[in-house]
Amino acid sequence: MMILHHGWRSSASRRVRLCLEEKNLAYESHVVDMARLEHHSPEYLKINPNGVIPTLIHDGRPLHESGTICEYLDETYPDPPLRPESPYERALMRNWIRHIDGLIGNLIIFNWRHHLAKTASQWSDEELAEKLKNIPSKERQEAWLRAARKPYTEEERDAARAKLVQLLDRIEDALKPSGWLVGNAYSIADIAAVPFVKRIDEEIAPDQVTAKKHPRVTDWWNNIQARPAFTRAKIGPFLDS
Ligand SMILES: N[C@@H](CCC(=O)N[C@@H](CS)C(=O)NCC(=O)O)C(=O)O
C-alpha cells in the first residue's frame, strides 16, 4: 500500500499524482495542511527532513523529493514507462527535473502572496520566531518571513515571471523534434514541467501559453490536459475563484 502526504495545489505533489495516475497505482491520500504548518511538525520531519511536501510512503518506507519519487515509481512499476530507454536521454530527463526544481523560488513568490500570507501576517513576532525555528532550510525560512512581514514587490514578481517565461522558451525549443521534452514520448521530464506550466497558464503569464507566443508549448499543454491521468490527478485551479 502507498500513502501520499501531499497538497492538492502543491506543484511537487502534483508531479507525483500525475505519475501515480499514469501508472494506475492506488494510494491513500493524506493531505498536509500547510497553513497549519503541519509539514514542520516533528512527526512530519521524521518522514521528510526538508519539511516540504510531498512524501510517499511505500511498504512502510518514506521517500521525499518529487523527481526522485517519480523515478522510483517508474523503476518499481515500469509499465507504462515514463522514462526514455537510453542512458543519455535519461540523463537529459534528470537535467530537466533539476533545472525546473531550481526555478521553484519563482513560483513561491506567487504562492505565498496568494495562499498563506494572510494567515502568516497575523502571527505576533514571538509566534513567528517560534515557527521559523522549526523550518529546516534557510531559503524556506526566508519565504515564510517574507509572507508574514515583507510581501514581495511588483519588481520581484516581474523578475520571477520573466524567469518562468524563459522556462517556456526553453521548453518551446526542446519540443521541436518530437513534441515531448526528451525522446519520443511523455516522460517524467514533461511531468516535472506540468505544474509550472499550469500556474503560468492559469495566473502568472497566461498570454504566454498561446499559439502566437509559444505554439509548441501550447500544443504540448493541450495534449497533456487531454490525458485521462491528468484528470484523475486533479490538477485543479491554484487560486480560489
Ligand atoms: N524539491 C522538492 C520541493 C518540494 C516543495 O517545495 N514543496 C512545497 C509545495 S510545492 C512545500 O512543501 N512548501 C512548503 C514550505 O516551503 O513551507 C520536491 O520536488 O519534492
Q: Where are the domains of the chain?
A: 2-76, 87-227
Q: Topology of 2-76 in CATH?
A: Glutaredoxin (3.40.30)
Alpha carbon distance 169, 162 (integer Å): 11
Phi/psi for 232 (5° steps) reads: -65, -30
Among 147, 138, 139, 126, residue whose Cα is nearest residue 34: 147
Q: How many angstroms is it from 28 CA to the middle of ligand 1?
A: 20
Q: What is the pLDDT of residue 237?
A: 87
Q: What is the pLDDT of residue 120?
A: 87
- Which residue type does 21 have? E
Phi/psi for 124 (5° steps) reads: -75, 170
Atom of ligand 1 nearest to the CA of 107: 10
Q: What is the pLDDT of residue 124?
A: 95
Low-confidence ranges of the chain (pLDDT < 70): 112-114, 241
- Which residue type does 212 have? K
Q: What is the pLDDT of residue 114?
A: 67
Q: Whose alpha carbon is nearest atom 20 of ligand 1?
A: 65
Q: How many angstroms is it from 6 CA to the middle of ligand 1?
A: 10
Alpha carbon distance 200, 100 (integer Å): 13
Q: What is the pLDDT of residue 106?
A: 95
Phi/psi for 56 (5° steps) reads: -105, 135
Q: What is the pLDDT of residue 30?
A: 98
- Decide: 146 in ligand 1 pocket, CB within 6 A: no
pTM: 0.96
Q: What is the pLDDT of residue 74?
A: 98
| CATH numeric code, 87-227 | 1.20.1050.10
H or E stretch at 6: strand 2-6
**Under 8 Å CB-to-CB from 167, ≥6 apart: which residues?**
100, 103, 193, 196, 200
179: left (phi over 0), alpha (psi -120 to 50) or beta: left
Q: How many angstroms is it from 55 CA to the middle of ligand 1?
A: 10
